[in-house]
Structure 1
C-alpha cells in the first residue's frame, strides 16, 4: 500500500504544474528558431541547423548535469539553478534578440532547461503516494499539453512582434521560479532521508550487470526513436512540400499528434497498474509502431498516408516514451536514480541533435525512399536487441 501524500517531498500538483509551465515557455521559442534565424536575422538555413545542433548539445549537457547535481548535491538548489539560468536567458532575449545574442542566449536557455527537465523527472523517483509509472505518464501528458498551449498562443502573438514572444516566455519562466522557490523546498529533506536509507542498507547499492545491459539497450531504442522522430520535424516537411502539399497541411499533422496525445495519454494513465505489469510488452509494441510508421510513407503520394503514419507514430510515442523512464527507474540504484533520468534525457537530446543531420545525409546521398527504410530498420533492430537482452536476463534469473 502506498504511503500518504504527506510523505511526498512536494505536492504532485506542483510537480505537474512545473512541467506544464516549463514546456509552455519552451514552446514559445523552439518552433520559431529556424524561421527567426533565417527570415528575421537573414542567416542561412545551414547556420540555423548549426544553432539547433549546439542548442541540443547544451541541453544534453544540462540533462547530465541536472541528474548528477540532483544525486550528489541538493535537488532544491539544482532546480533553482536551472530555472534561474532559463529565466535570466529569456529576460535577456527580451532586450537582446539580434545576432549573435539570440543564438548565444538560446544555448544558455537549453542548458537551463536541460537541468530543470531532468530535475522534474528525478523528483518522480522520490514520490511515494503514487507509482513512479503514474507520475511519469502524467509528466509526459503535461509536457505535451504545454507544447500545445505554447504553439497555439505563438500564432496569435507573433503578429504583434517577436519581442512579445520572448516577453511571454520570460513571464512563464519567472512564474516557474516562484513555484520552485516556494513549493519545492521539501526536496532536500526527502533526498537526504533517501540517502540515509541507502547508506544503512546494501540493497540496490550497485546495479546488477544484467540491469545495466537492459538500461543500455533501452537507451539505444530511445536514441534510434528520436533520430527517426526528428525526420518529421525536419526532412519530411520538405518531402511533403515537394509533393505540392502546403505548410498548413504539414502543421495539421502536429495538431493531430498533440490531440492524440492529450486524448489517449489520460486513458493509459487510468490503466497504469495493468500497463506497469506488462511494461516490456508496452515498450516492444510502442517502439515497433515507431518503426512501422515509416513503412507507410514508402510510395506515399496522398495526404491520408501521412495522416495515418503520424497516427501510428503518435500511438507508438505514447506507449513507449513515458514507459522508458519507468523502466530505467526500476533498474537504477537508489543513489543514482537522478543520474539515470539525466542519461535518458541526454540520449533524447542527442537523438534530436543527430536526427536532422543523419536524415539530410541519407537524402543527399540516396533518396527519401532509402531514408524511410533506414528509419524502419534502425528502430526495429534496436527493439530486437532490447528484446534479446531482456530474454537473456529472464533466462539467467530463472536458472
Structure 2
C-alpha cells in the first residue's frame, strides 16, 4: 500500500472515540442488572458473560493490531464499526437469553478492533504530537462514558429496546464518519515492507520496557476494577446507598473534565517528563486504596480516595499509549497499541473475580492493602527496569 499523502483528521478520531465510548456505555454497564433482574440469571452467570466479553475485547485488540499493521488501517476500523453496529441493532429485537450474551460478546470483539485502530491512527494526525492526541482521546473516551451512562438513566424506563436503539443510532453515525473520514489513510503494510526487505525490529531493551509497563497496566486495571465491582458492595455493606456510590463516578467525571484539558495544555512539558508522569500516576493510584479502610463510616474518605485515583489515572493512563508509541517501530504501531488495549481488557476481566476471592478468604481491608502493595511494588519494578534500560540505550 502506498503511504497516504495526507494525515487523518484529529477531529474525526476524537468524535469517533466519543461516539464509540458513548455507545458502549449504553450497553455494557447494564449487563449485570439486565441479566439478573430481567432475564432471571444469577450474578455468577452475569459475571461469566462479562468475563468472556472482556476476553473477546482483548482478542479484538490483538487481532486489530495485526490487521492494522499487516493489512489495512481503514478496513480494520471499518470491520470493527460494522460489528458493533450490527450487534447493537440485533439487541433491539433479539435480547433474550442466550442471544443477548452472544451479541454482547460480538460487540466486545468489534469494540476491541475499534480501540486499537483509533489508538494506532493517532500516530498519523498531521500537526499534532501523538502524546497530545492520546491525551484528548482519553478525555473524549471518558466524556463518552459519562454522557452514555447519564443518558441510560433517562432512557431505561422507556424500555431496554430504546436503550439499544440509541446505541445503534450512535454507531450508525460512527459508521458514516468512518466511511467518509477514515478511508484512504494507509501506510505501507508489514507484508509489503517485509517482502522488500524493509522490516523494522524492536530493540530488546525497548521490548522489555514495553512489556514491563503493560504488565503493570494490567495490574492497575485489576485493582481499578474493584471500584466498578466490589467497592460498591463495600459501600452498601457500610450503610451507604447505591446513589452514594454512583456519585463517586460523578466525582471521577468532573475531575477528568476539569484536569485533563490542563494536562493537554502542558503536553510538551509532560512529554519531556513522561517517565516521571508514569511513576507519579501509578503511585497515586496505589495510594488511593490506603484511604478506603478508614472510609467505613465517613463518606468524605470515599470521595478523597476516588479523587486520588482519578488524578493518578489522568497522569499515567494516557501516557502509557504515548510511551509505547515512542518505542514501537512504525511497522508495529498497531500491534503494540493493540497490546496496550489488551492489557487493560485483561485486567478488567480478572479484576472482579480476583477481588471477590480476596474478600471471601480475607477482608475488604486486606484487599485494599494488597492493592496498594502490589501496585507500588509493580511501579518500583517498572521504574528500576525502565531507568536501567534507558541509560544503556
Shift of 1:299: 2.9
Instruction: List gaps (5 residues or longer) in structure 1.
Output: 1-5
Map of 1:111-260 to 2, 5 A cutoff?
A: 111-188=109-186, 191-192=187-188, 205-260=200-255
Tell me the SS of whatever aligns to 1:9: coil
Counterpart among 283, 291, 312 of residue 286 in structure 2: 291
Q: Structure 1 residue 206: deviation in Å?
A: 1.2
Report the Cα distance in structure 2 between the residues aligned to 1:54 and 1:386, rounded to whole angstroms: 29
Cα deviation code 1:240-259 (max 9, x no counterpart): 00100000000000011011
The separation in 1 between residues aligned to 2:100 and 2:344, in whole angstroms, is 24
Q: CA deviation at 1:210?
A: 0.8
SS at match of 2:340: helix
Secondary structure, aligned partner of 1:128? coil
Matched, 1:303 2:293: no
- 1:22-56 deviations in whole A, cap 9, x for unaligned? 01111111111100000011110001100000000
Q: Give the structure-1-normalised TM-score.
A: 0.94
Between the aligned partners of 1:285 and 1:317, the Cα distance in structure 2 is 10
Which residue, 332, 339, 350 being the options, matches 1:343?
339
Counterpart residue number, 2:96: 98
- 2:221–2:351 Cα contact (<8 Å) kept: yes
The verdict on how the C-alpha distance between 1:198 and 1:124 changes in structure 2, with shifts beyond 3 A counting, is farther
Task: Give me the whole-angstrom Cα distance separating, in 2, the residues matched to 1:303 and 1:201.
Answer: 61
TM-score by length of 2: 0.96
Render the CA deviation track for 1:165-224: whole Å, top value 9, x for unaligned. 000011111111111011111222xx139998898896x921111111110111122011
1:51 aligns with 2:45: no
**Is it true that 1:385 corresponds to 2:381 in the alignment?**
yes
SS at match of 1:298: helix
Q: Secondary structure at the match of 2:294?
A: coil
Question: Where do 4+ consecutive residues of structure 1 move more than 3 Å?
Answer: 193-202
Structure 1 contact 198–335 (Cα < 8 Å) conserved: no
Greater shift in the superposed pair: 118-127 or 311-320 = 118-127
CA displacement 1:79-125 (0-9 Å, x = unmatched): 11111111110111001011111111000000001101111001012
Q: Can you list the C-alpha shifts for 1:137-188, whole angstroms capped at 9, x where unaligned?
A: 0000000010111111111111111110000011111111111011111222
Gapped regions of structure 2 (runs ≥ 5): none
Work out the CA distance in 2 between the residues paired with 1:102 and 1:267.
Answer: 41
Q: Matches of residues 16-35 of structure 1 in structure 2 within 5 Å?
A: 16-35=14-33
| Paired positions, count | 389
- 1:331 positional shift: 0.5
Q: Aligned to 2:308, which of 283, 290, 312?
A: 312
| Structure 2: distance between partners of 1:309 and 1:198 | 49
Contact conserved, 1:66 with 1:118, CA < 8 A, in 2? Answer: yes
Asked if the contact 2:24–2:167 (Cα under 8 Å) also holds between the matched residues in 1, the reply is yes
The alpha-carbon deviation at position 378 of structure 1 amounts to: 1.2
Q: For the Cα contact (< 8 Å) 2:8–2:126, is it kept in 1?
A: no
CA shift for structure 1 position 129: 1.4
> How far has the Cα of 1:276 moved from its partner?
0.1
Q: Distance in 2 between the 1:51 and 1:347 partners? A: 19
